Chain A
Amino acid sequence: MLEFSIMADALPSLLKGAGLTGRLAVLILLLGMTIAVPLAYARNAQSIWLHGPAKIYILVVRGVPSLLQVFIVYYGLGQLSFVRSSVLWPVLRDPFWCVIIALGLNSAAYTAEIVAGALRMVPKGLLEASQALGLSWFQTQRKVAIPLAVRAALPAYESEIILTIKATSLASTITLLDLTGAARLEVSNTFAPYEVFLTAGAIYFCITTSLSWLLRRFEERLSTDHRTGERSAKKLQPVLPALTNH
């Protein structure tokens, strides 16, 4: 039988770990998105000197396990003497930043593929209309292509966010006490793997499902499908059964 007291006792340290998981995920996704946008434009470019390297980067990063990428950054870079003597060494020595760099570069590849696909989905006619109105390339991207690509990319990016949150558990392999790391520590203290890991799993589940729900709502709000009355009809729905009851 599960002992609920162990679960309750483990909760404070697990929640603290969840805090670190959250910080890691946010920074990884930010770094990933920052790299992904230029990478996506390179990926879609005509010139082979732009789309060639971008495609190779995406291919390599997606073809190698993320755990290995974390190990390469954390254990591998320290082997190089010029890295150890560089000003970046205090950052590269820190497992926190190593996870962010490794998984950020990883997320960039997946996100770039999503963004590139979304940009290609923007109807050509709209880009032509924007050009015909005299907007520059940058204005066209900013006002037309990117807002529409964001809408097209959201469903795929939602699963990228969730995969990234779960991937942060790799941080526990290089000494960090994220949610998984905290759970492992708690297990070694209590020898109660079921209770602790199940609690940790439940916390991951709560984070990912509530985020999913939030993103869905956001998606609905951004939708360009503004058919008359549909939204107001949705709002009315809960009222209707109440009316029929009386």
Chain B
Amino acid sequence: MSAVTKLFGSFAALNGIDLSVARGEKVVVCGPSGSGKSTLIRCINHIEKHDGGSIVVDGCILDHKAANVDRVRREVGMVFQSFNLFPHMSVLANCMLAPMLVRGLKAVEAEEVAIGFLRRVRIADQATKYPSQLSGGQQQRVAIARAMCMRPKIMLLDEPTSALDPEMVKEVLDTMMELGARASVDGMTMICVAHEMGFAREVADRVIFMDEGAIVEEGAPEQFFCQPKTQRARNFLSRILH
């Protein structure tokens, strides 16, 4: 990703982002609200169209051409802040939809895959329920399983815990940590917008700090959280630590 810009009207949400993430690397992106973190990861699977610069995902240039966009989206999974489960489908159907339609799996195969991942997020017993019957934490775990069912090479997580009640944050973080551990084994790349220091320390190879649409600082989690180099990062950290 180089010199990427994204404008909303005259406001530059992303202002010349240069970033490369290696295969299998796990990156946590943090920064104050409105700093462009979400926009950054939404550009990676073209949910948000970037206006300038270039983005290459898994060797494929994201140039707004439908074929390339489709190719990238097949390999990139995404977990949203607000879960975005399909309310008219059961948990299982949510997980089977894309593998069947996009990967062409048969129903039996898709179900096997779905149950496998639902088991991993410890929610297989709820497979026949509908999203509205689950708690926020359970819904987000289903959303993680749904994204995993496509066996993505890259997983994007957009503040997966920030819409949750406090008591549910832990179960989702635990799931994400496990996901991170698995990712190390499978070589899956993870880019996660998150503010939880514990999670970042445990899982991330690198922390990126953004402000005003630009990357201000990056480094290993230990070094970033203990000895931030820039004043802006220090200000930000002092605010989230209270």
Contact = CB atoms under 8 A, between A and B. Distances in A.
Given A225-B132, A226-B132, A226-B133, A133 B98 contact: yes
A148 B78 contact: no
Interface string B54-90: 0000000000000000100110111010101111100
A77 to B, nearest CB: 43
A129 B133 contact: no
A93 interface: no
Nearest to B47: A128
Contacts of B88: 147-148, 151, 222, 224
Interface in B133-152: 133, 143, 146-147, 150
Given A134-B70, A136-B70, A139-B101, A128 B80 contact: yes
Given A126-B84, A126-B86, A148-B87, A132 B45 contact: yes
Contacts of A147: 88
A153 to B, nearest CB: 14
Contact of A228 (B86, B98, B101, B133): B133
Contacts of B77: 132-133
A144 interface: yes
Given A139-B101, A224-B130, A225-B132, A131 B73 contact: yes
Contacts of A148: 87-88
A143 interface: yes
Interface in A135-172: 135-136, 139, 143-144, 147-148, 151
Contacts of B170: none
Contacts of B70: 134, 136
Interface string A89-128: 0000000000000000000000000000000000101101
18 contacts: A125-B80, A126-B87, A128-B84, A129-B86, A131-B45, A132-B147, A133-B77, A133-B97, A133-B98, A133-B102, A134-B98, A135-B97, A135-B102, A144-B86, A151-B88, A224-B88, A224-B130, A226-B133
Interface of B: 45, 47, 70, 73-74, 76-78, 80, 82, 84-88, 97-98, 101-102, 129-130, 132-133, 143, 146-147, 150
Interface of A: 123, 125-126, 128-136, 139, 143-144, 147-148, 151, 222, 224-228
